[in-house]
Amino acid sequence: MRVAMLAPIHWRTPPQHYGPWELVASLITEGLVKQGVDVTLFASRDSLTKGRLHAIADTVGEGRTLGARVWEVLHIAEAFEHANEFDLIHSHYDWQPLTYSRLVSVPVVTTIHGLSSAEILPAYKKYNDRVAYVSISTADRHPELKYAATVYHGIDLNQFTFKSEPGQYLVFFGRISHDKGAREAIEVALQTKLPLVLAGITPEKKYFEEEIKPLIDGQQIRYVGNAGPKERDRLLGDAIALLHLINFDEPFGLAPVEAMACGTPVIAMTRGSMPEIIKDGATGFLVQTLEEAVTAVGRIKSIDRETCRRHVADNFSVEKMVEGYLGVYQKLLAA
């Protein structure tokens, strides 16, 4: 089986810090290679893989300049111009590669990492019968789209150290944004009088400057910037709990899975995929209000940290994810 894996070029694959779509593309690529699949990764020039790397562009970061958009389109086109060299193409982009799908004869798989806007739905609907869509949670399925499967994201458990005993702080890990509930995490920390460490990028500059920065005192509320893999492992593993008080229906949450892999329970809003990821009362608590979140912090010692780790190993390992995608590939190629 020859697979073309099309990763975004916003960040390196795998990312050095932030880059969830690139991370998932990398984990699938390396997992497939380990299974003996011939994979060519279409990614940025600085990307790393044990498969073949096909690169024509540098990373474009968060820039939305004309130059960045041009290189993204050239990057996508490059994969489809080499389509006849592969048995299938697996895209981790948004809607743009769908428009190339009828110009090639090979099957195309698209992992929908979440519909970024209702405005892009017409593109997905147009290619409903041409592209095999994979959802990353049942909650994120759109009623007007057809899906080949749901495959949960998986992580490499070897990158996460199990900690049987927590430290003395709460942690927020992810984009410092309204959607991710950064301000809500601070409110819970203040009410419980526990330290909070925030880690992540700050794409919403106004939100950070007005809602978050004034509350950072360097003592109870600390911001440590964007954390790479080693720092992520330490921050998550030593925390009492991860606060994931999201304000949107999140398609999938890698941070909760990564925290549980370290043994750290999660307190999350009951929205989107959270009920599929967290076992309420066993690996954390699902809440609907800040008051419930504050109460959950007081109950967090009742959660067995080994159960958290085992839950991830059973349901969200990279091996299980790769197995799911191999099933999709084999079904497509058999048809």
pLDDT tens digits in sequence order for the chain, 335 residues long: 999 999 999 999 999 888 889 999 999 999 999 999 999 999 999 999 999 999 999 998 766 677 888 999 999 999 999 999 999 999 999 999 999 999 999 999 999 998 877 899 999 999 999 999 999 999 999 999 999 999 999 999 999 999 999 999 999 999 999 999 999 999 999 999 999 999 999 999 999 999 999 999 999 999 999 988 899 999 999 999 999 999 999 999 999 999 999 999 999 999 999 999 999 999 999 999 999 999 999 999 999 999 999 999 999 999 999 999 999 999 999 98
Structure tokens, 291: 């008051």
Every domain range in the chain assigned CATH 3.40.50.2000: 2-154+317-334, 157-315
283, 307 Cβ separation under 8 angstroms: yes
Rounded Cα–Cα distance for residues 144 and 142 (Å): 6
Closest CA to 265 of 245, 251, 279: 279
pTM metric for this prediction: 0.91
Contact indicator for 229, 159 with CB cutoff of 8 Å: yes
Give the bridge partners for 257, in sequence order. Answer: none
H or E element in which residue 311 lies: helix 305-315
Fold of 157-315: Rossmann fold (3.40.50)
Q: Count other C-beta atoms under 10 Å from residue 330's C-beta.
A: 11
The superfamily in CATH containing domain 2-154+317-334 is Glycogen Phosphorylase B; (3.40.50.2000)
Contact present, 41 and 29 (Cβ < 8 Å): yes
**Chain-centroid distance, C-alpha 57:** 23
Token pair in block for residue 14: 């795998």
